[in-house]
Amino acid sequence: MKRTPKFQPDLTTILAFGAHPDDIEFGCGGVIARETQAGCAAYFVVCSRGEAGTNGTPAQRTAEARKSASLLGATLEFVSFGGDAHLEVSVARTLKLAAIIRRVRPAVVLAPTPAGNQHPDHIAVGRMVRDAARLARYGGVKELKQWAAHAIQQLLFYAVTVEAEPADRSAVLIDVTSVVATWWEAMAAHQSQAKTREYAGLQMARASMHGQRAGVSFAIPLFPNDTLIFESLQQLGRSARQF
């Protein structure tokens, strides 16, 4: 007897979480651009408005985030978790993220890596999204009864910095060469952050390095939370190593 899957996620929907207004764009904006240009829907959830940042007011950073998301073809919403530099892991906050996963019902979820050597807000959001994706599956969670249980297909982590790239797992490299102009424009929308450092240039340099590994111009690494499963060898792309 053929088993019918309990949950049927929308294969064209991507949900990306960020701790700060620019994290998603810097960490995986090129991936988002590539997917939305291919017809996928993308939803951004940002857990602060950059309140503790050295440059840019919360209002300015909110406006920059809205412009950037629009350039990438994504829908944006903010959640309040106490503000920038206050994103502690808690059950209540994790359940709030789980409720968003149930409401949006994505196939793929993106979140910052929980690797240790980076902004603590990134670590906290990565951990909460990981746990929220699991809790979203459980039909008996009373705080989530408003929305039907939902199982995502993949949780993939993105790294905002080189230091945040996990050393204990291999990356999936996404070729973003064709959308570099759009990605750059989205990063450049965060003008307030360029006063501190040329973050867009740093991300492009990192993408160029990963691209060279794979024989393309620019690539963004994503790090699977779980083992990837393929139905056949025909679904495999090539590896980064040039044998």
Domains: count for the chain: 1
Residue 240 lies in a domain: no
Which strands form 10-18's sheet, in the order they lie side by side?
74-78, 41-46, 10-18, 106-112, 154-158, 219-224, 172-175
| pLDDT given for residue 98 in this prediction | 98
Query: 160 lies in a domain?
Result: yes
User: Among all chains, which residue has been given the structure tokens 């939370």?
Assistant: 225
Six token digits for residue 45? 């959830």
Whether the CA torsion 236, 238, 240, 243 is positive or negative: it is positive
CATH of the domain at 127: 3.40.50.10320
Question: Which domain does 179 fall in, by range?
Answer: 12-234
pTM here is: 0.93
What pLDDT is attached to residue 6? 44
| Positions of the chain with pLDDT under 70 | 1-11, 242-243
Residue 105 lies in a domain: yes
Compute CA distances 105 → 8, 50, 133, 209, whole Å.
Answer: 9, 27, 11, 34
CA–CA gap between residue 108 and residue 235 (Å, rounded): 17
Q: Looking at the domain assignment, is residue 3 inside a domain?
A: no
Has residue 242 been placed in a domain? no
221 in a structural domain: yes
Report yes or no on 6 lying in a domain: no
Is 87 contained in some domain?
A: yes
CA diameter of the chain: 62
